[in-house]
Amino acid sequence: MESAWNSFYVAGVSVVIASAIALPLAYFTSRFNFGGTVLIQTLGIVPLIMPPFVGAVAMQLLFGTNGSLNLFLGDVFGWNIPFMEGLNGVIFVQSIHYFPFILINLSASLANIDRSMEESALSLGSSGMRLFRRIVLPLGMPGYIAGASLVFIKVFDDLGTPLLLNVNNMLAPQAYLRISSIGISDPMGYVISVILVVISLLAMYVAFLAMRGKEYSTTQKGGGGLMKRELSFKEKIGVYAIILTILSVVLSPHLALTLLSFSTIWSYSIWPDAYTIAHYTEAIGSAGHFITNTMLYAGVAATIDIILGTAIAYIVWRTGIKGRKALDYMAMSALAVPGVVLGIGYLRTFHSTNMPFTDIPLTQFWLIIIIALAIRRLPFALRACTAALQQVSIALEEAAGSLGAKKYSTIKKVVVPLMTGGILAGFVTSFATAAVELSATLMLVSAESDAPIAYGIYVFMQSAAGRGPGAALGIVAVLIVALGVYVSGRIIKNADKKNAITSDN
């Protein structure tokens, strides 16, 4: 029982803190015009692509009892802040890791709001924060709820972080410890797994209830989203200060990881002792295939996800097909299954099934990793696609239909293009998180040559000597995924520009 309460507490508080981080970033970048908005959005997503277990290691280095910050505080003031102790540590790591879910989905939502919604409020005398709170944020709710429910669920059933921080009195670690110590047949482990799944489903249901019966679509997609205001010099300084503060906190694990990847030895000291680039040569020399594997797996999985996500979102929200709600829950339930549980499930299901025309068991074939990743990340893409679809007014679709367009071409020519922002957001989340997924892949990788990068990092990180190269490989992973995110961000921005001209009234 205590574990259940702890899990709730940690997930709830993490959502609050993640919102506090994500809201200002989304607000500033979507409302104002200043240099580097795309860069800031990209940096805001980067935390998501740090494998959680690596993030925890890095944050221990910085914020742990013997981390840089506390050593520094101890030297100067003689006291410490227990950031990383117990549940606080989990909350801290999780909020920083998962807030991009809110940022991505909320930003996509904000970009979809009809400009006249905001203008009519302005001409009625509303402005600034009040305008944001009363009009903009409520209209962006589909995105916020999508993001916040993801954060809640991911934190709720995350395993790696509590384990690494040695916090065992939460539900997921309990389940894992029981299954791994007593064995796959321990009933208590399954009971807890079921509780996890049920509560996650419940959380999704609550999010669904919050959205139901509310009208969020704005009839026209005018002017490419919110009006962007120019900032005065003073305002600019203020905005940059806030953004830099937030980014420096949320990117600190990456900073630590970067330092670690360049350092010879770093422990019990504020800064590393000396620097080297040897780790990079070692990491890249031995790990090229990790990188190509990762791109392949995550890319294919994310592509599958957005196609399925768009299709399912459409079926669930725009058709009357029987059992469509069940389809939604089924797709989303993948979210509620912790990676370890899913991994075990696959092993049990496919172990005795051979690849067609070969003697290799399906579990030893790399395709299984893609399937696992695709299924695990489907909910992310689905949420993003659903939020995007909810903002496309049904009138637009009816318009196409009334012009004689068949259902399929309506979807292809009208619905999907208007959903582009959301779909790309879905792709980014799926891709970025699939690229660093560890728990499921760890169970499924059979040959090192088929392994993705997270596996490589994990293997390196096992030994003290491997921490340097592991960190180097982690940095490489982050760079690759960040590049992908940045490129898709640019695509969204260009698509918005095009819409702004063609559909302006």
Environment class of residue 326 by beta-carbon count within 10 Å: exposed (0-12), middle (13-18) or buried (19+)? exposed
Residue type, position 344, single letter: I
**Smallest distance from ligand ATP to CB 227, Å:** 11
- 132 versus 262: smaller Cβ distance to another protein: 132
Interface with ligand ATP (CB under 6 A), residue total: 2
- Tokens 């905005």 — which residue? 239
**Smallest distance from ligand ATP to CB 494, Å:** 15
Q: Which does 307 bind (CB under 5 to 8 A by kind): another protein, ligand ATP, none?
A: none
- 173 versus 222: smaller Cβ distance to another protein: 222
- Tokens 């890791």 — which residue? 97
Environment class of residue 361 by beta-carbon count within 10 Å: exposed (0-12), middle (13-18) or buried (19+)? middle
Pure H helices in 212-251: 233-250
**Smallest distance from ligand ATP to CB 397, Å:** 23
**Smallest distance from ligand ATP to CB 466, Å:** 55
Of all residues in this chain, which one has the CB nearest to ligand ATP in the complex?
504
Structure tokens at 89: 């540590």
Which positions touch another protein (CB under 8 A)?
114, 116-117, 119-127, 130-131, 134-135, 138-139, 141, 214-220, 222, 227, 505
Residue type, position 352, single letter: S
Burial 273-291 (b: 16+ CB within 10 A, else e): eeeeeebbebbeeebeebb
- Does 502 contact ligand ATP by CB under 6 A? no
Four-residue CA torsion sign, 440, 444, 448, 449: negative
- Does 504 contact ligand ATP by CB under 6 A? yes
**Smallest distance from another protein to CB 183, Å:** 52
3-class DSSP assignment, residue 229:
strand
- 227 versus 315: smaller Cβ distance to ligand ATP: 227
Q: Which does 124 bind (CB under 5 to 8 A by kind): another protein, ligand ATP, none?
A: another protein
φ, ψ of residue 46 in degrees (nearest 5): -50, -40
**Under 8 Å between Cβ of 467 and 457:** no
- 82 versus 138: smaller Cβ distance to another protein: 138
**Under 8 Å between Cβ of 491 and 423:** no
- 327 versus 500: smaller Cβ distance to ligand ATP: 500
Measured CA to CA, the distance from residue 138 to residue 173 in angstroms comes to 36
Measured CA to CA, the distance from residue 505 to residue 502 in angstroms comes to 9
- 224 versus 379: smaller Cβ distance to ligand ATP: 224
Measured CA to CA, the distance from residue 433 to residue 143 in angstroms comes to 18
Q: Which does 503 bind (CB under 5 to 8 A by kind): another protein, ligand ATP, none?
A: none
Q: Which does 219 bind (CB under 5 to 8 A by kind): another protein, ligand ATP, none?
A: another protein
- 324 versus 493: smaller Cβ distance to ligand ATP: 493
**Best CA proximity match to 419, nearest among 450, 387, 396, 375:** 387
- 224 versus 421: smaller Cβ distance to ligand ATP: 224
**Smallest distance from ligand ATP to CB 505, Å:** 6
Q: Which does 125 bind (CB under 5 to 8 A by kind): ligand ATP, another protein, none?
A: another protein
Burial 338-359 (b: 16+ CB within 10 A, else e): bbbbbbbebeeebeeeeeeeee
**Smallest distance from ligand ATP to CB 223, Å:** 7
Q: Which does 337 bind (CB under 5 to 8 A by kind): another protein, ligand ATP, none?
A: none
**Smallest distance from another protein to CB 63, Å:** 40
**Under 8 Å between Cβ of 106 and 225:** no
- Which of the 8 DSSP states describes residue 361? B
Cα three-residue angle 87-91-97, rounded to 5 degrees = 145
List, in sequence order, every residue forming a beta bridge with 275; answer none if it has no partner. 263
**Smallest distance from another protein to CB 16, Å:** 22
- Does 501 contact ligand ATP by CB under 6 A? yes
**Smallest distance from another protein to CB 228, Å:** 12
**Smallest distance from ligand ATP to CB 368, Å:** 50
Q: Which does 4 bind (CB under 5 to 8 A by kind): ligand ATP, another protein, none?
A: none
Cα three-residue angle 436-439-440, rounded to 5 degrees = 95
- 118 versus 450: smaller Cβ distance to another protein: 118
Q: Which does 347 bind (CB under 5 to 8 A by kind): another protein, ligand ATP, none?
A: none
- 130 versus 348: smaller Cβ distance to another protein: 130
Contacting ligand ATP within 138-177 (CB under 6 A): none
Q: Which does 489 bind (CB under 5 to 8 A by kind): ligand ATP, another protein, none?
A: none
**Under 8 Å between Cβ of 103 and 147:** yes
**Under 8 Å between Cβ of 384 and 425:** yes
- Does 448 contact ligand ATP by CB under 6 A? no
- 147 versus 222: smaller Cβ distance to another protein: 222
**Smallest distance from another protein to CB 142, Å:** 10
Environment class of residue 62 by beta-carbon count within 10 Å: exposed (0-12), middle (13-18) or buried (19+)? buried
- 219 versus 409: smaller Cβ distance to another protein: 219
3-class DSSP assignment, residue 365:
coil
Residues binding ligand ATP (CB under 6 A): 501, 504
